[in-house]
Chains A and B, each alone.
Chain A
Amino acid sequence: MQIKINGVVSEVQPGMTILEAAREMGIDIPTLCYLEGVHEAGACRVCIVEVKGARTLVPACITEAADGMEIFTHTSRVRRARRTIIELMLSDHPDECLTCGKNNQCELQKLARAMNIQERKYEGEYSSRVIDDGSPAVIRDSGKCILCRRCLSVCSMIQDVNAIAPIGRGFKTVIAPAGKEPINQSPCVQCGQCVNVCPTGAIIEKSDVIRVWEALEDPRKHVVVQVAPAVRVAIGEVFGLEPGTSVTWKMVSALKKLGFDRVFDTNFTADLTIMEEGSELIQRINEGGRLPMITSCSPGWINYMEYFFPQLVEHLSTCKSPQQMFGAVIKTYYADKAGIPAENIFAVSVMPCTAKKYESQRPEMYSSGYRDVDAVLTTRELGAMLKEAGIDLLSCGEETFDQPFGAGSGAGAIFGNTGGVMEAALRTVYEILTGDELDNLNFHQVRGLTGVKETSVKIGGREFSVAVVHGLGNIRKILEDIDKGRSRYHFIEVMCCPGGCIGGGGQPISKDPGIKEKRIAGLYREDEGLPVRKSHENPAVQELYREFLGHPLGHRSHELLHTRYRNRREQEYENHWKTDSLSKA
């Protein structure tokens, strides 16, 4: 099938849209609401093109190319229409670019520039503006929303959460939770996938940058930082490196330059998680505990479970996430060992995640007697701090993480991608149960980007059935099976975000379609390059058990490293019932 775009003839596959065909030919058609595979609605009309013989301009993102079609992407008719569309959007958009969280990363801003718009052509009524900053993870500013509905599509199609919807109609429409209530009172799981797809500054993460600067500048505070595995293969992107480039040791150096007193590796508590979670799994299997057991490292996933399947929370491992385990150990074991009072320690973590901000504020996360993790920065926020401080990551030297938690194993490193927690757990559970050494540490069956991966593993003559899921939209069926007592799995790994933490809501925003594969490859390279690749062989973890914790699932572990869950859904209903019936009485 042949089409002609801007005079160039090309062979295209039947079924392709004009946009896909043009992109394949290297011709750029601007888009705004379009999000490949997720939101293809033709709503914003920015991608309109002229088709010879057609009465009107057609949206390229949803119009199929037909044989013999002759298309023009930048005629004066197209350009004028496109410019008017953007000008009309600007007529209901605040002039706040300089102080906006998305300054220089805003797609509307880029389009205004590309259309050569130099004045505000239309003045008119503004839609009402509500800024919702009640959530610890995300801030929503309806004034900057252009109603493209990308957030909504991600929230429903990818994450199956449906926290937001169009409320009202016509000019009064806003994208908001039910009743335009604060996002905190909605089913929102705080995953931040909406932040990653919002073309403007209408949804951004809630920044902890100022609090961290204040702590760093406070001479009484001993400020420690932990860095999640997925950060090290993404922070380089902020400085122009190819996605997936691992910059672990430069990043440590940069963090020290920022003024952190100690730089620790979350991979260490990832190993600790495997010790606790692996032991918990073995215990549940041997003692007839609740199966399948499901991983609990991903706070967005926990939020999902607590809202949508509260009846199944006993299937969750009681282990805290590596971030929270670290906080609890820093303000107890480390405080003691370093001779620093816990109240003077300010614990920061750098995470690929917005839900981690929420997690750190949960009331269960004060097990050291203080807030275990004081502030959470996303990868993006760390990048912004480094730039503000004039620290060029690429020209930093290489330094190693600080003791006593310096070393993380390769198993800890792959916690940052889908399948990684499962693989780490299998390496350890296998060796503990059999006493034999694994010949091949690589469990390829659980790797890759398939939404649901399942396999069975033979350990000591017993067959274990496991599943790995990423992207919340893939989990519902498995949970429904568990609910009906039909699940055949022993152990399930769930990560909230597509691709796992490397695709988290706090990662640098990228248009690279291969971004997930590249970051994942970076973490497997990290794993293979480390001297220790099994959590239970991490000497620092062994020492922590010897000196402080005793043994996995012991008394101290129980107090510091394990947690409990609640029923968010019933709470919502009861809260509304109470407030509504009270206001009536």
Chain B
Amino acid sequence: MEVRQVDNPDVQRQKVEDIISAYRDKPGALIPVLHEIQNALGYLPRWVQYRVSNIMNIPVSEVNSIISFYALFSEKPKGEYAIGVCKGTACYVRGADKIIEKLEEELGIEAGDTTPDGKFSIEVMRCLGACGLGPVMVINDDIYTRIKPDKVKDIINAIRQKDGSETT
């Protein structure tokens, strides 16, 4: 499995500047700007919000208000292993909430959060279009189908083991 790459801070800063300046004089561009920055950085840290506010002349409270309104935007960085669990109707009736519960238990965080070591994050997703295979879970680019709650621990442990052998 590929580990998600995180840019170094200077590269991040440059990417943010480029995105903002591409949109700076376009009215109503706040949401597309936030969207692009989130795609580039994986999340919307506070310094980004201040930068967007300063350059685009939109109060930082409003920028933050919008980010906090839409579930799509996140203020927290995703983990190196970003776990997404589908909670669309089909996956839900097949027990997606049990999967989420197990993940929360195993990782010690709530859905929407990232572990303190930055390794894992849990995100609740909308329908991924694989309803026949539910419940569906995605970790970075790998897709797990028809998961049973008692398999969750094994999946996480397998990643932990692999990750440990790579870094040591």
Report A's interface with B, CB cutoff 8 A: 156, 162-169, 177-179, 186-187, 569, 572-573, 576-577, 579-581, 584-585
Contact = CB atoms under 8 A, between A and B. Distances in A.
Q: Chain B interface: which size bin?
A: 20 to 34
A165 B69 CA distance: 11
Chain B interface, DSSP helix/strand/loop, else mixed = helix
Nearest to B46: A576
A569 B68 contact: no
A163 B51 CA distance: 16
Given A179-B46, A573-B50, A577-B47, A162 B68 contact: no
Interface in B12-56: 13, 45-47, 49-51, 53-54
B157 interface: no
8 contacts: A164-B61, A165-B62, A168-B68, A178-B53, A178-B63, A179-B75, A572-B60, A584-B6
A580 B46 contact: yes
Nearest to A169: B69
A163 B45 contact: no
Contacts of A577: 13, 47
Contacts of A581: 9, 47
Interface of B: 6, 9, 13, 45-47, 49-51, 53-54, 59-65, 68-69, 75, 77
B46 to A, nearest CB: 5
A237 B21 CA distance: 53
Given A169-B68, A179-B64, A584 B9 contact: yes
B62 to A, nearest CB: 5
Nearest to A172: B68
6 smallest beta-carbon distances between A and B, as pairs: A162-B59, A178-B64, A165-B61, A165-B65, A576-B47, A577-B47
Contact of A584 (B51, B53, B64, B77): B77
Contacts of A177: 60-61, 64
Given A163-B61, A165-B64, 11 more contacts: A156-B59, A162-B61, A167-B64, A177-B61, A177-B64, A178-B50, A572-B60, A573-B54, A577-B13, A581-B9, A584-B9
Contact of B49 (A166, A179, A584): A179
A384 B113 CA distance: 47
Contacts of A584: 6, 9, 77
A527 B86 CA distance: 73
Nearest to A576: B47
Contacts of B75: 179
Contact of B50 (A162, A164, A168, A576): A576
A572 B51 CA distance: 10
Contacts of A186: 60-61
B77 A572 contact: no
Given A165-B65, A169-B69, A581-B9, A573 B59 contact: no
Contacts of A165: 59, 61-62, 64-65
Contact of A166 (B13, B51, B65, B77): B65
Nearest to B49: A178
A243 B68 CA distance: 43
Contacts of A166: 65
A121 to B, nearest CB: 31
Contact of A162 (B49, B62, B69): B62
A572 B49 CA distance: 11
A156 B65 CA distance: 14
A168 B112 CA distance: 14
B76 to A, nearest CB: 11
A580 B45 contact: yes
Nearest to A188: B61
B115 to A, nearest CB: 14
Contacts of A585: 9
A187 B59 contact: yes
B112 to A, nearest CB: 12
Nearest to B64: A178
A585 B49 CA distance: 20
B35 to A, nearest CB: 18
- Best-buried of A156, A164, A165 by chain B (most CB within 10 Å): A165
- Best-buried of A178, A569, A572, A573 by chain B (most CB within 10 Å): A178
B47 to A, nearest CB: 4
Nearest to A163: B61
Contacts of A179: 46, 49, 64, 75
A167 B65 contact: yes
A166 B69 CA distance: 9
